[in-house]
Amino acid sequence: MPSHLTPPEPVLLTVIGRDHPGIASRLTGQLAEAGAELLDIEQVVVQDRLTLCLLVRLPEKGDVLKELLFAAHELGVVLEFQTVPVPGSKPVPSSNRHVVTVVGRKLGAREVHAVTECLAGHLANIERIQRLTETELGSVEFHISLPAGRDPEELKRALLELSMASNTFDVALQRESLYRRSKRLVVMDMDSTLIRIEVIDELARVHGVGEQVSRITERAMQGEMDYDESLRQRVALLKGLDSRVLRDLSSNLPLTEGAETLIPVLKRLGYRTAIISGGFSVAAEALKDRLGIDYAHSNMLEEADGKLTGRTLGPIVNAKRKAELLESIAQAEGILLDQVIAVGDGANDLLMLEKAGLGIAFRAKRKLRQAADTSISSGGLDTILYLLGLTGRELLEARPPPAGTLDRRSSG
């Protein structure tokens, strides 16, 4: 083949320097004027320092590189260039692309090294790193690709072990797909998830049966008793408790850290929210009204003459029922299960977490953390927002304004 018909090798242009308006405009303008072919472009700015990469195929005639170097000098930036092989035409399959999200109070070199070392050990190639938080380095997102045939479950388990050993940051592995940033429904357990307490334990303590209830709970956790039977026995011990105790407790439930950020942001972004709990309806309905949650499903305690009878009404919200309710809400809202997030802390939440597109074990026992898609242990509930891929800047925009102030974003 004649040499003049062979396309010239691509050239990678790397521009480095202080960021300011007009850099990309000037350089791409010169490339366009020279008739260069732009094959790829990427830019990142860290602390006002710009790195702009352009992969181009330059025309054989003219001295485009000399003109680009002169333009870079005038712009006050450094331009480096090198020829590179022709880009591969076969893209990485989407099933091999994943996102690793690391969230902590403050991430440093030690934490980032631990994660990147783990990724390297599993042959994961880091394609892009993005900081999500605005001020301190509190959340970082790694976009990675895995080799063909590599099981992402192995990497997930390794990252989970790393997080549990550190206890200073959470790390999540999610497949990069259309639905990662398009979740539409968030379903949460209530006790020890949305709120910091177990309502039944507090009622039992007031009624003087705290130790008996705790023993039954422990037997159920050890697998010596199924959930339904354990609930019946614990509720029976509450017989005769004044109903006002339940209502007083429900009116002032202590929210888990991050809940007061998570729920308003989800609502503002158009998400539907639900409580699906093995706890009690008086408490769940109180939270529903207080936080503006769309759905609340839980166990109903029977009352007579202002006291608890020691029985429940209707079907018990057990593990199977939780998964069924999640699916029912998603169907009613026209939402795919891949677009659902489920959050819980106990074995009773496992089926619900498995049913959802993203199941999150929140401050849970090791067994649930290993079974869930990901886990949160060191952060609050608002960590979920970073798992959705939201940045700190986006969260500031999504937070509702303080009460009594004018929201200019929604005003006419």
> Is residue 224 included in any domain, yes or no?
no
> Is residue 302 included in any domain, yes or no?
yes
* Marked catalytic residue, from 40, 48, 63, 189: 189
Predicted pLDDT at 395: 84
Q: Are 191 and 340 within one domain? A: yes
Domain count, the chain: 3
Q: Are 162 and 194 within one domain? A: no
Cα angle vertex 68, ends 62, 74, to 5°? 135
CATH number for position 25: 3.30.70.260
Axis-axis angle for helices 152-166, 109-121 (nearest 10): 150
Predicted pLDDT at 2: 47
* Marked catalytic residue, from 48, 170, 191, 228: 191
| Residues of the chain with confidence (pLDDT) below 70 | 1-6, 86-95, 221-223, 402-412
Axis-axis angle for helices 227-236, 199-206 (nearest 10): 30
> Is residue 249 included in any domain, yes or no?
no
For residue 301, give the 3-state DSSP assignment.
Answer: strand
Predicted pLDDT at 404: 53
For residue 354, give its domain range.
185-198+254-398
Q: Are 66 and 106 within one domain? A: no
> Is residue 209 included in any domain, yes or no?
no
Q: Are 57 and 125 within one domain? A: no
Predicted pLDDT at 62: 78
Predicted pLDDT at 1: 42
CB 213 within 8 Å of CB 201: yes
Q: Are 59 and 170 within one domain? A: no
Strands lying side by side in the sheet with 37-46: 37-46, 49-57, 11-18, 77-83
The whole-angstrom separation of Cα 143 and Cα 173 is 10
| pTM more than 0.95 | no
Q: 158 is written with which tokens?
A: 């390794």
Q: Are 259 and 378 within one domain? A: yes
Predicted pLDDT at 222: 64
Is 189 a residue of the active site? Answer: yes
Predicted pLDDT at 262: 95
Predicted pLDDT at 409: 47
Predicted pLDDT at 44: 87
